């Protein structure tokens, strides 16, 4: 699975959106500076989801509406900043909207200059073929001091790789995370459905104060 060089990334960016193998990354605010030898720089967007303390003593991401109850949406325009306290996390997104063709996959990594401040932007770095949207960034300040985030600043590096065999371009896109333009909170499946498929007949409901196994029907 070869990594695309700056030359091949640029060639694909210049294709029209209807051409086979075309790549869309927009806006490119500094087109001559964002391409490295084997990657392209991505900037931090202006919307964030801040984790909030849930009503219960835990967060159950499989619960309906859990995302809205556990995150607060805020907007920091270009020129402003967001303070991330030490050992705290926030969901952000790339400023750039990305559309991958059917023969490319990608990986986003923290820029080395950012990583040296002990800021991590990706815990789910893989990007599948045919993805389109802004990339959600799981930003974690693992340092001992608060860190400022400036929307518009380069924060990640996108590495693109060619598949041995392109995926079907006509396949239905069913992923939950297709087309986002802001950070996406988790949306996990109901544990009953997941457990039922693997033959588990009972499970412990975390929302009940005592052990009361629920039989799956």
156-175 per-residue burial string, b: 16 or more CB within 10 A, e: under 16: bbbbbeeeeeeeeeeeeeee
The pLDDT tens digits for 117-168 are: 999 997 778 899 999 999 999 999 999 999 999 999 999 999 999 998 888 8
Which of the residues are catalytic? 138
Half-sphere exposure of 96 (CA within 13 A, CB side): 24
Q: Are 205 and 214 in contact (CB under 8 A)?
A: yes
Residues 157-190: tens digit of each pLDDT: 999 999 988 888 776 565 555 678 888 777 666 7
Q: Which CATH architecture has domain 6-186?
A: Distorted Sandwich (2.70)
Q: What angle do CA 128, 131, 152 make, to 5 degrees?
A: 110
* 58: its two tokens: 């835990």
Domain residue extents for the chain: 6-186, 189-217
Each residue of 82-99: pLDDT tens digit? Answer: 999 999 999 999 999 999
d(CA 35, CA 30): 9
Sign of CA dihedral 174, 167, 110, 13: negative
pTM of the model: 0.80
């Amino acid at each position: 699975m070869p990594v695309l060089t700056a030359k091949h990334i640029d060639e694909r960016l210049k294709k029209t959106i209807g051409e086979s193998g075309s790549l869309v990354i927009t806006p490119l605010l500094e087109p001559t500076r964002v391409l490295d030898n084997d990657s392209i720089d991505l900037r931090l967007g202006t919307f964030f989801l801040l984790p909030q303390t849930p009503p219960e003593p835990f967060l159950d991401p499989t619960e309906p509406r859990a995302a809205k109850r556990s995150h607060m949406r805020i907007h920091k325009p270009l020129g402003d900043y967001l303070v991330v306290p030490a050992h705290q996390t926030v969901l952000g997104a790339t400023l750039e909207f990305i559309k991958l063709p059917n023969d490319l996959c990608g990986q986003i990594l923290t820029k080395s200059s950012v990583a040296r401040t002990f800021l991590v932007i990706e815990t789910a770095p893989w990007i599948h073929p045919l993805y389109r949207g802004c990339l959600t960034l799981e930003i974690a300040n693992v340092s001992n001091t608060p860190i400022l985030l400036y929307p518009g600043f380069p924060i990640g590096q996108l590495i693109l790789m060619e598949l041995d065999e392109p995926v079907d371009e006509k396949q239905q896109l069913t992923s939950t995370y297709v087309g986002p333009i802001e950070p996406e909170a988790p949306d996990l499946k109901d544990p009953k459905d997941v457990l039922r498929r693997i033959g588990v007949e009972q499970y412990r409901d975390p929302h009940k104060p005592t052990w009361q196994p629920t039989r799956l029907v």
